[in-house]
Structure 1
């Protein structure tokens, strides 16, 4: 454990950030899962609505640097491709 005042503060900050990031990452997983479930059910309307929510959450996480910008864009693109396949 840290002994210096600044190191103790840095540790407290890292714990707060970790908790905040874990909440966001869990939220991302749940919204992406909702899109995938809708895709498996072949419900295009439900999948598009879920993708809209997932896009918003992924973009927000990327903007706050919780995940990388390219990772967010890649996930959105792959979900959109999957929806387009069932829409045909």
Structure 2
């Protein structure tokens, strides 16, 4: 256990930030999975900007790396463009 008051506070802050980051990262992962499992092109095109926005926000706050966000967006856009119009 930490002895200094500043290190105790740092532990509290780190735990709080970790839980916050886990929640938003998990939410984004679920949104990416939902988009990947979508077979309807119109629905996928409606969902794509929201998922991209989530990934950009996570990258901006350093929850995920900016290159990872870019790679995910690229793969998702290929998936959306490849879908047949149903």
User: Structure 1 unaligned runs (5+)?
Assistant: none
Give the deviation of 1:87 after TM superposition: 3.8
Distance 2:78 2:37 in 1: 15
In structure 2, C-alpha distance between the alignment counterparts of 1:80 and 1:67, rounded to whole Å: 19
User: Mind listing any 5+ residue stretches in structure 2 that lack a counterpart?
Assistant: none
What TM-score do the two structures reach when normalised by structure 1?
A: 0.89
Name the residue aligned to 1:46.
Answer: 43
Superposition deviation, residue 16 in structure 1 = 0.7
By how many angstroms is 1:62 displaced? 0.6
Q: Give the total of aligned pairs.
A: 85
Q: CA RMSD in A?
A: 1.2
Return the structure number with greater relative CO, CA threshold 8 A, min gap 6. Answer: 2
TM score, norm. by length of structure 2: 0.91
